[in-house]
């Protein structure tokens, strides 16, 4: 699901705006405190001023990540994220951590299927230091084989840590079946065997192709002056040469459509039964209205007072249940998670199917329900946006998948979503569409659960 955000404003003003006319008031605030520009080399610069506390977050984000991988490269962008920190050299050869400490900064990086990002959060008086450090980080890394060997095993340890969690295996097995031959382009963490085979030339290829200014955005939020940040950006990044568009010569291949429903059982020493159901959802370029409807639907059904929650959770069939969507440029997944018990699994799945069938009814999405979901969305955004750090990260993710205009118009489009949009979304992506169901159970429940899931698939295709 898209992280809920608009633009940070003083809390009293924001709550008043939400109560009165949230879309118009928040858009006016957005126009006042958000500033967007593009350097001569094509790098986009986005600044959001929030002077509530003297803290700033500076983030640089690239459209890269797992979507640029093929079978042989799984995990290389993730490894590169680690390598970039290791390859940093300051004025006196000092490592990244030393320069970050001198700037009093907390920092990290992240790799998803559609972006790779690096950020620093620090006193706003050190914003220029942050941009200097980030520019050094991404413009001219000094790759060394010893660092490469060390970081390869750091990433493998990270993989092993995730693999110790049964939920990781549940999600991974579901994803493998959901994306089929396109799974490599969704596998951000990577694959152990591929990581062992990665070479230094592969890292250099990623850097030369995707780490270019015209494939990047610099986002600065917090107690800053937009005019001064643009000057800093030109100083530190303006001389970075523009390069060919990486996607002109290496376009991201279309995700293969899921042609049939599939099921898988994962076993672990657990005490509950966890159900994951996935569908292939909308893509921002192809169906932006569908992405907004996806978020509104999640807001409606995940409300603890919703009829969805009453029939699935309050009834005792599920201990917990939630529906979500991840906004993506290249097919976002729709995911249902539910926790139940082995003896209630059959009844819970039957109720879940009935609930989605009921969404096709004209009265499922009442106007008052939609309006309440939109208002909850706006109010939650107000509180969330008081944190400029979270805002920067959310903006970076949204920029990579949808661009600046998608971010700017997001709240307006959420508030404009209608019952017609919701029905169209459900019918296009969920009702009677192929899905993947994965269930995590104790080992002694594997055989009866496999039989049950096969019956469930047969029933779903009648």
Question: What domains does the chain contain, in order, with CATH numbers?
Answer: 20-249 (3.30.830.10), 262-460 (3.30.830.10)
Helix (H, G, I), strand (E, B) or coil at 436: strand
Residue 337: CA count within 13 A, CB half-sphere: 12
3-class secondary-structure state, position 140: coil
442: left (phi over 0), alpha (psi -120 to 50) or beta: beta
DSSP for residue 341: -
Q: Which of 81, 124, 132, 90 is nearest to 104 (CA)?
A: 124
Q: What is the pLDDT of residue 19?
A: 37
Q: pLDDT tens across 72-87, in order?
A: 888 888 888 888 898 8
pLDDT digits (tens, 9 = 90+) for 100-136: 999 999 999 999 999 999 999 999 999 999 999 999 9
């955004």: which residue's tokens? 381
Which residues are 216's β-sheet partners?
62
Q: Which range is most confident: 20-24, 207-211, 281-285? A: 281-285
Distance of alpha carbon 106 from its chain centroid, rounded? Answer: 21
How far apart CA 193 and CA 370 sit, in angstroms, is 47
Best CA proximity match to 22, nearest among 46, 40, 45, 6: 6
Give yes or no for residue 9 having a pLDDT over 80.
no
């Amino acid at each position: 699901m898209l992280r809920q955000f608009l633009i940070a404003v003083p809390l009293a003003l924001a709550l008043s705006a939400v109560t009165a006319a949230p879309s118009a008031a928040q858009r006016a605030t957005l126009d006042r405190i958000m500033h967007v520009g593009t350097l001569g080399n094509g790098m986009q610069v986005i600044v959001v001023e929030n002077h509530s506390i003297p803290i700033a977050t500076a983030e640089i984000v690239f459209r890269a990540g797992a979507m640029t991988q093929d079978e042989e490269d799984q995990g290389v962008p993730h490894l590169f994220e680690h390598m970039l920190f290791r390859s940093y050299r300051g004025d006196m050869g000092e490592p990244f951590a030393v320069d970050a400490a001198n700037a009093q900064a907390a920092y990290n990086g992240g790799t998803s299927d559609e972006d790779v990002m690096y950020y620093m959060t620090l006193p706003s008086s050190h914003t220029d230091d942050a941009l200097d450090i980030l520019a050094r980080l991404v413009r001219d890394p000094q790759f060394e084989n010893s660092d490469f060997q060390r970081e390869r095993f750091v990433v493998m340890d990270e993989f092993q840590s995730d693999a110790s969690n049964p939920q990781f295996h549940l999600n991974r097995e579901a994803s493998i079946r959901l994306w089929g031959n396109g799974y490599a382009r969704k596998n951000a963490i990577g694959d152990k065997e591929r990581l062992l085979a990665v070479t230094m030339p592969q890292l250099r290829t990623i850097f030369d192709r995707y780490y270019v200014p015209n494939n990047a955005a610099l986002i600065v939020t917090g107690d800053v002056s937009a005019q001064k940040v643009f000057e800093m950006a030109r100083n530190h990044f303006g001389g970075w040469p523009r390069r060919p568009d990486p996607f002109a010569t290496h376009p991201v291949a279309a995700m293969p459509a899921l042609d049939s429903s599939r099921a898988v059982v994962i076993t672990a020493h657990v005490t509950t039964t966890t159900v994951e159901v996935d569908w292939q959802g909308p893509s921002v370029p192809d169906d932006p209205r569908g992405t907004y409807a996806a978020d509104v639907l999640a807001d409606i059904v995940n409300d603890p007072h919703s009829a969805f929650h009453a029939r699935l959770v309050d009834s005792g069939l599920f201990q917990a249940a939630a529906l979500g969507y991840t906004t993506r440029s290249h097919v976002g997944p729709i995911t249902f998670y539910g926790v139940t018990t082995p003896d209630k699994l059959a009844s819970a799945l039957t109720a879940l199917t009935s609930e989605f069938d009921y969404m096709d009814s004209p009265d499922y999405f009442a106007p008052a329900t939609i309006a309440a979901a939109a208002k909850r969305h706006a109010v939650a955004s107000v509180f969330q946006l008081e944190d400029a750090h979270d805002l920067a990260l959310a903006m970076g993710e949204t920029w990579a998948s949808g661009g600046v205009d998608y971010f700017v118009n997001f709240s307006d489009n959420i508030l404009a979503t209608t019952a017609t949009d919701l029905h169209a979304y459900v019918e296009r992506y969920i009702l009677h569409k192929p899905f993947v169901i994965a269930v995590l159970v104790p080992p002694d429940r594997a055989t009866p659960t496999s039989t049950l899931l096969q019956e469930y698939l047969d029933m779903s295709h009648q």
